[in-house]
Structure 1
Amino acid sequence: MSAVNNLFVLYTGGTIGMLQTPEGLVPAGGFEARMREHLARHEVPAPRFVFQEMLPLLDSANMSQREWLAMREQIVAAVDQGGHDGVLLLHGTDTLAYSAAALSFLLLGLGVPVVLTGAMLPAGADGSDAWPNLCGALAALEAGIEPGVHLFFNGELMHGARVSKLRSDAFDAFTVLPRRREGERAAELPSALAYRQPRQPVNLAVLPLFPGVQASHVRALLASGVRGLLLECYGSGTGPSGDADLLAALREAHAGGVVLAAISQCPQGHVEFGVYAAGSQLRDAGLVSAGGMTREAALGKLFTLLGAGLDQAEAQRWLALDLCGEMAER
């Protein structure tokens, strides 16, 4: 762990740099000049940095796998070709935790720290958290942090593959909730998951279980060509085990090559199939436990595994192992 001296700043849009229009807040360019002016005027210590905008700038509600791949490509180029020893990514808050999780897996093995941050209020608004978040992230990078993906918000540096957004209108919107993280660590990473390896978009779906969920819902998702389905189960990984048609739909999906992953709907939950028969039957239908992973982490991990071209068996194997601290303490 060493101080960052040659920083790459990637601005993707988001509230932090938005400007007011008659239609509401919209992403706006020119944030580099505003950032440099603020740092100079307030004499904020910061490493030397190169600033780049990712065009088109986004409201992060429009984030997709395409943008995740574009961010990954620009970060890899900045480190491998540009010689940067740290990355600061400015991003909207709606999908900030999703992007932090996805990049945690897309950048496995990258030997520099990547810190994401954003703001609940634009930089020009009274009482905004934009500058405290940005300057706090810069201070953390300058002081030195471990390689890997992190999220800095409201004075706290958080693990990129564990963080979630819990509040929609408060400065302490993000947190890492206590979850049981007792998964088995991968002894080594497969070459297919190294950060330099190309990735492809993947058709994925998330389905929360609820009283009244039907097999037809699962089959409709399968008909769309999904390759991975993240099932948000009750409690410790249970579901309607008395619905034979639903279990049959899951077995059909698994037999067809779809990777089925299970997480808990509980904010501080984890999946442990063997506790209840209702969980064991989901396991027997082909679901893989994602342990204590968050929705954001499980989705980002599925995307990375399948986007790397792994087949069903290999994806299931690595899904069940901890790769970067998402399901085991490190």
Structure 2
Amino acid sequence: MISTLEFSSNPKASILIVYTGGTLGMDYDENGSLVPCDFERVVARIPVLKELNINLSVISFNPPIDSSNVKTEHWVQIGQTIKDNYAAFDGFIVLHGTDTMAYSASALSFMLQGLNKPVIFTGAQLPIASPRSDGRENFVTALEIAADRREGIPVVSEVCIFFNHLLLRGNRSKKVESHHFDAFESENYPALAEAGIVIDYNYTALKAYDPTARLIFYPELKDDIVILKLFPGINQKAVSHILSTPSVKGVIMESYGSGNVPHQPWFLSMLEDAVNKDVVVLNVSQCNGGNVIQGKYEASSALNRIGIISGRDLTTEAATTKMMHLFGRSTDPQEIKRNLTTAISGEMN
């Protein structure tokens, strides 16, 4: 059910807010404890919303969720909401907890193909009830960006995260802080905008607006994947358990540096056996600014021969959600491998 806050008879934009929950939307209950609150209480804490000349409509998750409980069906719910209301609004704000925001923004970037309007995720490190909450500035600036147009064309036409003065491409983002306001980074792609006294857009980094694009929503996601994080001393039994799980169709392998892995025969043999059984293995770097270059060092040279896919500069969040998306669209491992090496939403260089 949509509730509408009409602050202007001649607004510069109409924005739909998808309120999922998270730290931003927490307030004190009668016992003085912080609990998720309804959106009306969020608005009451940010009276400046009435001065933005933007009309707001809200769809709330009931009940609001902690982002650590986010599942693929929540991504489908957010995407379906945007699809169903796409023609009626100029842009969309998703209020979301920070812990899994980069996963959700990445997922939506793949699910919403042909997007030509802003979908901006934001949230807070401190609850809106806190006097020092970062939620007010994050929310207000995200709204201004979502409403911003040049000659009738939206400045932003992709899925983004706005947090602590920076607008980042959603599928390039990663949460890196839990105790400071600068919670997100985008090491392998420049910021799309920086908000100071004015909002300074990096037009060369923004996705180009395509007047011919038409939104296509892909709700199918397959979660038969695992993440294999390498560490010194990882043993054969653990790797065997992960790679031989019957339901697993895809593996995100978090390797060292530029894609390096242990070159013990047992490890490489297990990877090769998995690939021969049509398990798709995608190699991404553990480094925040990592870029996999298979074959650069001896420790990764065998991976090309085995059939491991290089994830190049994909984040783990983008790699995970992209693989879920591709398995939802195809059952052909070779087609999935080809698409994993091709940028479909600006997620990789």
Q: Same fold (TM over 0.5)?
A: yes
Q: For this structure pair, what is the TM-score category when the shorter chain's length is used for normalisation?
A: 0.7 to 0.9
Q: Please, which of 289, 297, 300 is the counterpart of residue 310 of structure 2?
A: 289
1:57 is displaced (CA, Å) by 1.4
Contact 1:179/1:270 (<8 A) preserved: no
The 1:78/1:274 distance shift into structure 2, 3 A limit, reads same
Supply the AA of the counterpart residue of 2:111.
L
Corresponding letter in the other structure for 1:51: V
Instruction: Give the secondary structure class of the aligned counterpart of 1:274.
Output: coil
Post-superposition Cα deviations, 1:226-268, rounded to whole Å, max 9, x if no partner, equal 1110000111111111x22221211121122211100111222
1:50 to 45, 54, 57: 57
1: distance between equivalents of 2:53 and 2:253?
43
Distance in 1 between residues matched to 2:167 and 2:12, nearest whole Å = 16
Per chain length, whose mean CA-contact separation is higher, i.e. which structure has more relative contact order (CA < 8 Å, sep 6+)?
1
Contact conserved, 1:261 with 1:288, CA < 8 A, in 2?
yes
- Show the counterpart of 1:236: 258
> Please, what TM-score do these two structures have when normalized by structure 2?
0.82
CA distance in structure 2 between the partners assigned to 1:220 and 1:267 by the alignment: 27
Q: Which residue of 2 aligns with 1:133?
A: 138
CA distance, structure 1, for counterparts of residue 61 and residue 49 of structure 2: 27
Cα separation, 1, equivalents of 2:43 and 2:33: 26
C-alpha distance 139-24 of structure 1, shift in aligned 2 (>3 A): same
**Once the two structures are aligned, what percentage of the paired residues are identical?**
35
For residues 117 and 285 of structure 1, do their structure 2 counterparts lie closer, same or farther at Cα, with a shift above 3 Å needed? Answer: same
Q: Does 1:223 align with 2:245?
A: yes
Give 1:233's aligned amino acid. Answer: S
> What displacement does 1:40 show?
4.4
Equivalent residue for 1:65, pick from 69, 72, 76: 72
Contact kept, 8 Å, 2:14 with 2:90, in 1: the verdict is yes
For 1:277 and 1:4, the matched residues in 2 are separated by 57
User: 1:168 aligns to what?
Assistant: 178
1:25/1:311 CA distance change after superposition, 3 Å:
farther
- Residues 97/322 of structure 1: CA separation in 2 closer, same or farther (3 Å cut): same
| Residue 288 (structure 2) aligned to one of 267, 270, 279 | 267
How far apart are 1:50 and its partner, in Å?
Answer: 1.3
Indicate the residue corresponding to 2:187 in structure 1: 177
Instruction: Name the counterpart of 2:23.
Output: 15
Unaligned segments of structure 2, at least 5 residues: 1-10, 150-154, 191-214
Contact 1:179 1:292 in 2 (8 A): no
Query: Do 1:68 and 1:99's aligned partners in 2 also have CA atoms closer than 8 Å?
Result: yes
Which amino acid is the alignment partner of residue 225 of structure 1?
Answer: S
Q: Is the 8 A contact 2:146 2:156 kept in 1?
A: no
- Report the CA distance shift for 1:42/1:260 in structure 2 as closer, same or farther (over 3 A): closer
In the alignment, the residues of structure 2 paired with residue 236 and residue 24 of structure 1 have an alpha-carbon distance, to the nearest angstrom, of: 46
Paired residue secondary structure (1:229): strand
Amino acid at match of 2:51: V
Aligned mate of 2:347, from 319, 326, 329: 326
2:122 is aligned with 1:117: yes
CA contact (8 A) 2:226 2:250 kept: yes
Query: How far has the Cα of 1:43 moved from its partner?
Result: 4.2
CA contact (8 A) 1:8 1:86 kept: yes
Which residue of 2 is the match for residue 104 of structure 1? 109
Task: Judge conservation of contact 1:237–1:264 (CA < 8 Å) in 2.
Answer: yes
Task: Name 1:91's counterpart in structure 2.
Answer: 96
How far apart in 2 are the matches of 1:72 and 1:15?
21
Deviation at 1:146, TM superposition (A): 2.1
Q: Deviations over 1:127-167 (max 9, x none)?
A: 11111110010111122332110100111111111111111
User: CA shift at 1:198, angstroms?
Assistant: 3.5
CA contact (8 A) 2:106 2:321 kept: yes
Residue segments in structure 1 that go unaligned for 5+ positions in a row? 181-193
Instruction: Name 1:190's counterpart in structure 2.
Output: none
Query: CA distance change for structure 1 residues 262 and 46 in 2, over 3 Å: closer, same or farther?
Result: farther
Aligned partner of 2:202 in structure 1 is none
Indicate whether 1:199 and 2:209 are aligned.
Answer: no
User: How far has the Cα of 1:310 moved from its partner?
Assistant: 4.2
One-letter amino acid matched to 1:231: M
Alpha-carbon deviation of 1:204? 1.4
